[in-house]
Amino acid sequence: MRITEVTLQPLRLELVNPLKTARGTYAAREGYVVRLRDEEGRVGQGEAMPLQEFGTESPSDCEQALKSIHPNQLPLPLGEGRGEGMCLPLGGLSMRTPAARHAVEQALLDLLAQRQGLPLCRLLSAEAREEIRVNALLGAASPEALAEESQRAVAEGYETLKLKVAGRPLAEDVARLSAVRKAVGQTIHLRVDANGGWKESEAGPALAELGEYHLELCEQPVAAEEHEALARLSEHAPCPLAADESLALPEVVRALLNHPRTVGILVLKPMVLGGLLPALSLAREAAKKGLDAYVTSSLDGVIARAGAAHLAAALPSGRYASGLGVGHLFKNEPGNHPFRPVRGRIELPRKPGQGVN
Ligand SMILES: O=C(O)CCC(=O)c1ccccc1C(=O)O
Ligand SMILES: [Mg+2]
């Protein structure tokens, strides 16, 4: 395969309502769509949507990295084998610019899958699932509005709901979670995401109190680097803990894999991990150590979420729902595409490539 043309298109995603997390509030996202054309005229697409506070490069470093690539820097010694376990050499793009690397790798994988006549998920794994379950991300602030929002999600068919916690008094989070649990009943999975917003001394009591409402898991209760606190919290927590922001720190990833009871689950953000293949390799290594994993977007556009959905279908385990149901949060989300969840599920397109036009 030879790349004959690289094009970059700026992409700006405005949120309908700003999303509040313990790390900050997001009103819009900015990045690039990368398109690669091969010598036979096929086009592969990838997205770079940097989110620096979650461990990607800055928007300007991302832009600079993308503008530096050139078709003949993408030599693609890919053979025609499967994508399993491999890491694409991407010219000058390193893990120091993970979002830029993500975009180029994704576009190449899209092309490779098209050339092989396989859906991307089957290129990633021969055992890929045909559909994935996704969680609904609840954005409302007050208990009353949350109760309503969660009932709507459940009526739509979602079986897993995710709620941002921390960054506000614990009593408020207790009232919010209690309202959601009361509104949806006992069988729905409720996960919370603290985005590292608690100190260890706050996280213990918070998990104990919120655990009363039966949690599926808690993402990142304490700051990314605090893996020893995660290990101590896991001993007493009422639910599995999941590492999310921690995965942006390679030395913490090593610690989590070397001490597999630190957390039970890894939250894979391909944009932060530098691509779909690094994320898949991490999930496979984690699975060998008894750790589960699921995929979420970092509030990405539809192209990045498409790649992430194919990755989710290819993970060793499909036990946990993916965090890819965020399209409705954006004002300019394209209307009709296969990555919009229906009844809380995304069915992967069966056509070759990733299936985004
Ligand atoms: O998981 C989801 O449903 C949405 C993804 C999400 O919550 C998120 C979005 C942007 C940045 C960070 C995070 C996060 O999971 O912490
Ligand atoms: Mg998270």
Distance, CA of 196 to CA of 337 (rounded, Å): 33
Distance, CA of 184 to CA of 229 (rounded, Å): 32
In this prediction, residues 138-149 reach a mean pLDDT of 94
Distance, CA 231 to ligand 1 centroid (Å)? Answer: 22
**Which residue's entry shows tokens 């990838």?**
46
* Residue-range domain boundaries for the chain: 3-121, 123-347
Yes or no: say if 190 and 320 are a contact pair by the CB < 8 Å rule.
no
Angle at 173 between CA 169 and CA 178, to 5 degrees: 145
Residues with Cβ–ion distance below 5 A, ligand 2: 193, 219, 244
Distance, CA 282 to ligand 1 centroid (Å)? Answer: 19
If one residue of 297, 305, 320, 330 were mutated to test the ligand 1 pocket, choosing by the most ligand atoms within 8 A of its CB, it would be 297
Yes or no: say if 126 and 134 are a contact pair by the CB < 8 Å rule.
no
In tens, the pLDDT along 234-277 reads: 999 999 999 999 999 999 999 999 999 999 999 999 999 999 99
Instruction: Tell me: pLDDT of 33 over 70.
Output: yes
Locate the DSSP E strands across 83-149.
Answer: 131-138
If one residue of 15, 193, 265 were mutated to test the ligand 1 pocket, choosing by the most ligand atoms within 8 A of its CB, it would be 193
Distance, CA of 294 to CA of 88 (rounded, Å): 22
pLDDT of amino acid 72: 75
- Beta-bridge partners for 317: none
For domain 123-347, is the CATH number 3.40.50.2000?
A: no
Ligand nearest to the CA of 135: 1
ipTM of the assembly? 0.97
How many residues are listed for the chain in this entry? Answer: 357
Three-state helix/strand/coil letters over 258-270: HCCCCCCEEEECH
Which of 203, 249, 192, 259 lies closest to 228, judged by CA? 259
In tens, the pLDDT along 44-93 reads: 999 999 999 999 999 999 999 999 988 877 755 443 334 434 556 676 78
Yes or no: say if 217 and 249 are a contact pair by the CB < 8 Å rule.
no
Residues flanking ligand 1, CB < 6 Å: 51, 54, 135, 137, 162, 193, 195, 219, 244, 296-299, 323, 326
Three-state helix/strand/coil letters over 244-257: CHHHHCHHHHHHHH
Which residue is closest in CA terms to ligand 1's atom 2?
323
In this prediction, residues 149-167 reach a mean pLDDT of 97
Q: Which atom of ligand 1 is nearest to the CA of 297?
A: 5
Higher pLDDT, 89 or 209: 209
pLDDT, mean over the chain: 93
In tens, the pLDDT along 326-353 reads: 998 999 999 889 999 999 999 999 999 9
Yes or no: say if 230 and 217 are a contact pair by the CB < 8 Å rule.
no
Which of 282, 281, 293, 315 lies closest to 242, judged by CA? 293
How many percent of the chain have pLDDT more than 70? 95
Instruction: Tell me: pLDDT of 105 over 50.
Output: yes
Which of 339, 351, 271, 338 lies closest to 11, judged by CA? 271
pLDDT of amino acid 21: 75
pLDDT of amino acid 88: 61
For domain 3-121, is the CATH number 3.30.390.10?
A: yes
pLDDT of amino acid 23: 76
**Which residue's entry shows tokens 């690039």?**
32
pLDDT of amino acid 5: 94
pLDDT of amino acid 87: 59
